[in-house]
Structures are given as C-alpha cells and as structure tokens.
Amino acid sequence: MTHATHKTPSAELAKNPLISFGRGIAHYREINPAHIKPAIEFLLENAQLAVDHAVDPSTPAHWNDLAEPL
C-alpha cells in the first residue's frame, strides 16, 4: 500500500502561521486574512486524503494505518 495520507506544505505555505502543526501554538500576531484560504484548502485536502485512505478496502484495519491518519 502506497497511498499518501497527507501532503507536505510547499515552502511558501510552510511559512503560513495557520499551518503550524508540530511547531507549537500558532503565532496569532502574524496571521492576516490572506493566510486563511490557502490554509483551509491545504487542511481540507489533507483531510480528504486521510478519509480516502481510511475507506480504501486495501487499508489494513490497524490503528497506524486507519485511525492515526484521521
């Protein structure tokens, strides 16, 4: 099984303070309206990849393969 369950943000998107997973709390002072749409689109795309992976019949019914990506 080689389905991706998430995408890595581009270098530009990685600078977005709303994409701060694993880097602690978001830097709220740095957020501006232009950050919102790209962050939501990126997060929704990753969520869809995780759901697609979870419902794929070839996905093993194990925590790391099924529940963790969600």
Pick from 3-7, 10-14, 40-44 the range whose average pLDDT is largest.
40-44
Q: What type of residue is 57? A: P
Q: Please, what is the Cα angle at 28 between 36 and 69, to 5 degrees? A: 60
CA distance 6 to 36: 19
Give residue 22's pLDDT: 66
CA distance 3 to 49: 9
pTM recorded for the entire structure: 0.75
Residue 53 or 4, more confident: 53
pLDDT digits (tens, 9 = 90+) for 27-45: 889 999 999 999 999 999 9
Q: Are 56 and 8 in contact (CB under 8 A)?
A: no
Q: Are 57 and 41 in contact (CB under 8 A)?
A: no
Residue 67 or 23, more confident: 67
